[in-house]
């Protein structure tokens, strides 16, 4: 009859404890990382207070939202864009991901459509922004994707 060991050595207990700790750390890491995998998303407001600013801009739809990505718009320069201190710095032409505010839809829009949109910006508790309105403009509407305004980015 084989002899059963009922007690583990100190070394075995340390190895088991180390492996258990490593598995717990790896599991917590996956819980943090997996929800963000494959998501190309802009930051959204965490606490809805009054936005620091709201801007109206025009651009073209670069990509429609999916379960893993936000609406993407290539927009014209926004010369009146202000930084968190309220200083006008302007924003140059770029393609940006925009989360949609609750109730905003992109029904009837397609990639390449020219749109006018409104977006709000929050600087606190962290930088966040979202589209609050998007309207399709007539086909052939001319856009200016020229250089950034003076002081722009």
| Gyration radius from the chain CA atoms | 25
Do residues 42 and 96 lie in contact, with contact meaning Cβ atoms separated by under 8 Å?
A: yes
- Measure the CA–CA gap between 64 and 111, rounded to whole angstroms: 7
Residue ranges per structural domain of the chain: 53-136
Which tens digit of pLDDT belongs to each residue from 6-42? 566 666 665 555 455 444 545 444 343 334 444 445 5
| 109-144: b (≥16 Cβ within 10 Å) or e | eeeebbbebbbbbbbeeeebbbbbbbeeeeeeeeee
Query: pTM for the full model?
Result: 0.67
Do residues 140 and 130 lie in contact, with contact meaning Cβ atoms separated by under 8 Å?
A: no
Long-range contacts of range 22-25, CB-CB < 8 Å, 24 or more positions apart? none
In CATH terms, is domain 53-136 a member of 2.40.50.320? yes
Do residues 55 and 118 lie in contact, with contact meaning Cβ atoms separated by under 8 Å?
A: yes
Which tens digit of pLDDT belongs to each residue from 65-119? 999 999 999 999 999 999 999 999 999 999 999 999 999 999 999 999 999 999 9
């Amino acid at each position: 009859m084989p002899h059963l060991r009922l007690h583990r050595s100190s070394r075995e207990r340390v190895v088991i404890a180390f492996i258990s700790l490593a598995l717990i750390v790896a599991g917590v890491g996956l819980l943090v990382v997996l929800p963000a995998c494959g998501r190309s998303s802009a930051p959204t407001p965490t606490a809805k207070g009054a936005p620091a600013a709201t801007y109206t801009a025009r651009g073209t739809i670069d990509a429609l939202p999916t379960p893993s990505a936000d609406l993407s718009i290539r927009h014209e320069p926004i010369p009146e864009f202000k930084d968190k201190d309220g200083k006008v710095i302007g924003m140059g032409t770029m393609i940006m991901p925009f989360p949609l505010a609750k109730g905003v839809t992109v029904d009837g829009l397609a990639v390449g459509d020219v749109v006018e949109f409104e977006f709000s910006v929050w600087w606190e508790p962290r930088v966040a922004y979202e589209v609050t309105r998007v309207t399709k403009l007539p086909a052939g509407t001319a856009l200016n994707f020229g250089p950034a305004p003076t002081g722009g980015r």
